[in-house]
Amino acid sequence: MADRFDKIIEGCIAGKGDSQKELYSILSPELYVVCLQYASCRDEANDYMQEGFIRIFTKIGSYRREGSFEGWCRKIMINTALQHLRKKKQMLVVNEEISEDAAYEAPLAQFQLEKEDLMDMIKNLPVSQRIVFNLFAIEGYNHQEISDMTGIPENTSKSHLHRARITLKKMLNIHSVETDKLFRKNVR
C-alpha cells in the first residue's frame, strides 16, 4: 500500500485532481468516522471532513514520509475538529484536580455491546468530556498532549476523562438492565 500512496502523494503534490480524488476515496470512510467522533451532528462532521481534506491537499508537500500517512491525515482531521470546537468555546475548563489513582471501576455488565451502541453512548457525552475521552481512549494521547491540543489545563483533561468514564459506566449499567429485561421478556 505504501507504493500506492507514494504515487498518489506525488500526484497530489503536483495538483492532479485524479490523485486527489483517489486519495479522498481511499481515506474518506475512515476519516469521516474520526470527524463524527468530534462533531455534534453529521453536517458538522461533513464540514470538518471538507476542511480537513483541503488542509491535507494544501499541506501534503510537508508530509515527511515518517510514520503512517493515514496517521498524518487523521491528525489533521482531529486538529481541524478541535480548531472548530475551540472557536465555539466548547472546551470547558474545570479547576478540579483528579488524582492519578482516582477510583474508577469498570462496569460489571455481562452483555454483548455492539460497536454502534458504544459509539452512540460516547456521542451522548457532554462535548468537552467526549473530546477528551476520544483523544485519550481512542486516539491514545496523554493528558499533557490533550492539554496542548485543546488549550485546557492538564487537570481539566483528567477531570473530563474521569467524568466521561463515570457517565459511560452509568450508561452501560442502564443498557445492561434494559438488555436483561429484553432477554427475559423474549425467553418467556
pLDDT at residue 130 greater than cutoff 60:
yes
Number of domain units in the chain: 2
Q: 129 and 81, same structural domain?
A: no
Q: 64 and 124, same structural domain?
A: no
Which pLDDT does position 185 carry in this prediction? Answer: 57
Note the pLDDT tens digit of each residue in 84-115.
888 876 555 544 444 444 443 444 444 455 67
Q: Tell me how far apart the alpha carbons of residues 166 and 109 are, in angstroms, rounded to a whole number.
A: 14
Q: 128 and 67, same structural domain?
A: no
Q: Tell me how far apart the alpha carbons of residues 97 and 154 are, in angstroms, rounded to a whole number.
A: 9
Which pLDDT does position 105 carry in this prediction? Answer: 42
Which pLDDT does position 66 carry in this prediction? Answer: 84
Residue at grid coordinates 462496569: 107
Note the pLDDT tens digit of each residue in 8-48.
999 999 999 999 999 999 999 999 999 999 988 899 999 99
Q: 79 and 142, same structural domain?
A: no
Q: 82 and 11, same structural domain?
A: yes
Q: DSSP alpha helices (H): ranges in the chain?
A: 2-13, 17-38, 42-59, 69-87, 115-123, 127-133, 143-150, 154-187
Q: Among 87, 105, 127, which residue terminates a domain?
A: 87
Domain encompassing residue 78: 2-87
Is there a domain that residue 134 lies in? yes
Report the pLDDT averaged over residues 162-167.
Answer: 93
What's the length of the chain? Answer: 188
pTM (global) more than 0.85? no
Cell digits of residue 16 = 492532479
Residue 130 and residue 122 in contact, taking contact as beta carbons nearer than 8 Å: yes
